[in-house]
């Protein structure tokens, strides 16, 4: 028989590189000489193939499968640390020297039933720390909102203790100094703010020295203003992270300019470089619930702004939000190939959040919460 003709395979045309139109920015001046940073996720690295990110996780029923188990869970953590190293290198190469590490670096490491030591990833953590120090990148963390030292419930306090020890462990294994702080909010008021703050004082004193050396407090937009936290911070020698956006929703009774020296003194007393937070509400936001949602980017540096602090930009566009401010204020050289345009239109929607109650996270087997980088992606 005659041989059948061989069909030629069609070769795919190489994908054309994307061309981005980057709009001009309004130039402004500032005396600010500190560092700007971003939180947890890099939008460019996340979209690469394979993606680079630090929040791989799984559900509890995956851990309990015979072919997965704890070895699978730990390998996710190892991969997260290896990608953290890549993120640190990329960040420094783009003139950003301040980065928040995802709390999901080691999934379930602070879980009451599935917690584990980070000893198995000691070499990877050591390398991450060495990379950050060599490149001059400050690393910090922000345990999620359920890390609450004001709660009247013992189980909540025990969970908070474990979570804080976990964060302290990965920074300690990295060899990071006291500038690698762990930020938490005051937590819930639980019907009696003064009683809640007294519980915080009690529980803070029970923390390990390692945790106390790193722990700092942040004012929030609904429960604890700077007025509420500053006396507690001064009594316990805890630095206070001033959040400009939260302050705009829940302000102090005195002008913040008058309180700023006291806030900065807390950092100086502890020998830690100050860090503040900046975000802006989305355009058109009116109600407190609308205003709490972060804009994709910030359009201005705040006032008053100390000249030499670290300012975490809590914005949806992550590293692009830092680049945006760099261009506005000429704070660093522009690497044009890494710029991405802003969204044409921002939405006021907050992922279905309709009230002051926290959004319910996804749940796994037996109602256990599954870790994601969404909860603390930019808060």
* Residue 10, in any domain of the structure: no
- Give yes or no for a contact between 132 and 176, defined as CB atoms under 8 angstroms apart: yes
**CA pair distance 3, 244, nearest whole angstrom:** 76
Q: Is residue 7 part of a domain?
A: no
249 within 8 A of 292, measured Cβ to Cβ: yes
How many domains does one find in the chain?
1
Give the pLDDT score at 367: 36
Closest CA to 346 of 293, 302, 301, 300: 293
Residue 202: in which H helix or E strand, if any?
helix 193-205
What pLDDT is recorded for position 68?
82
Q: Residue 17 falls within a domain, yes or no?
A: no
When the pLDDT of each residue in the chain is averaged and rounded to a whole number, the result is: 90
For 160-169, 203-212, 316-325, 357-366, which range has the lowest pLDDT when averaged over its residues? Answer: 357-366
Q: What is the pLDDT averaged over residues 70-77?
A: 95
What one-character DSSP code corresponds to residue 336? G
Instruction: Establish if 376 belongs to a structural domain.
Output: no
Sheet of 215-218: strands edge to edge? 240-241, 215-218, 182-185, 138-141, 98-101, 35-39, 310-313, 275-278
Q: Is 249 a member of any domain?
A: yes
DSSP 27-44: -------SEEEEES--HH
Q: Confirm whether 4 is domain-assigned.
A: no
How far apart CA 271 and CA 161 sit, in angstroms, is 24
Quick check: is 303 in a domain? yes
> Pick from 315, 289, 287: which is nearest to 301 by CA?
315
Q: In this predicted model, what pLDDT tens digit does every residue of 324-358 receive, in sequence order?
A: 999 999 999 999 999 999 998 776 655 544 444 44
Residue 68 within a domain: yes
Mean pLDDT of 251-274: 97
Residue 287 belongs to a domain with what CATH number?
3.20.20.150
Determine the structural domain holding residue 218 and report its residue range.
35-336+361-367
Residues 136-146 have pLDDT tens digits of 999 999 998 88
């Amino acid at each position: 028989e005659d041989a059948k003709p061989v069909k030629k395979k069609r070769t795919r045309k190489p994908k054309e590189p994307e061309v981005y139109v980057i709009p001009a920015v309004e130039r402004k001046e500032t005396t600010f000489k500190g560092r700007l940073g971003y939180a947890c996720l890099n939008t460019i690295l996340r979209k690469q193939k394979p993606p680079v990110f630090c929040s791989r996780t799984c559900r509890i029923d995956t851990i309990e499968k015979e072919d997965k188990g704890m070895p699978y869970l730990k390998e996710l953590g190892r991969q997260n640390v290896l990608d953290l190293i890549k993120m640190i290198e990329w960040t420094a190469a783009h003139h950003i020297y301040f980065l928040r590490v995802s709390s999901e670096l080691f999934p379930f490491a602070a879980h009451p039933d599935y917690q584990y030591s980070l000893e198995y990833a000691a070499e990877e953590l050591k390398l991450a720390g060495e990379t950050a120090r060599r490149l001059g990148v400050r690393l910090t963390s922000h345990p999620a909102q359920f890390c609450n030292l004001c709660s009247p419930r013992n189980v909540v306090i025990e969970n908070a203790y474990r979570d804080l020890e976990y964060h302290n462990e990965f920074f300690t294994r990295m060899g990071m100094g006291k500038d690698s702080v762990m930020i938490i909010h005051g937590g819930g008021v639980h019907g009696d703010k003064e009683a809640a703050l007294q519980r915080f004082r009690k529980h803070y004193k029970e923390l390990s020295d390692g945790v106390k050396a790193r722990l700092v407090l942040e004012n929030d937009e609904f429960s604890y203003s700077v007025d509420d936290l500053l006396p507690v911070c001064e009594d316990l020698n805890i630095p206070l992270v001033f959040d400009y956006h939260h302050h705009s929703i829940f302000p102090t009774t005195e002008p913040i300019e008058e309180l700023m020296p006291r806030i900065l003194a807390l950092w100086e007393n502890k020998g830690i470089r100050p860090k503040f937070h900046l975000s802006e509400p989305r355009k058109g936001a009116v109600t407190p619930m609308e205003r709490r949602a972060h804009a994709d980017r910030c359009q201005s540096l705040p006032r008053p702004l100390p000249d030499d602090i670290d300012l975490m930009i809590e914005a949806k566009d992550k590293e692009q939000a830092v680049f945006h401010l760099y261009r506005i204020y000429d704070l660093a050289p522009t690497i044009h190939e890494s710029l991405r345009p802003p969204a044409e239109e921002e939405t006021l929607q907050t992922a279905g959040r309709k009230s002051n109650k926290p959004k319910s996270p996804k749940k796994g087997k037996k109602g256990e919460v599954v870790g994601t980088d969404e909860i603390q992606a930019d808060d």
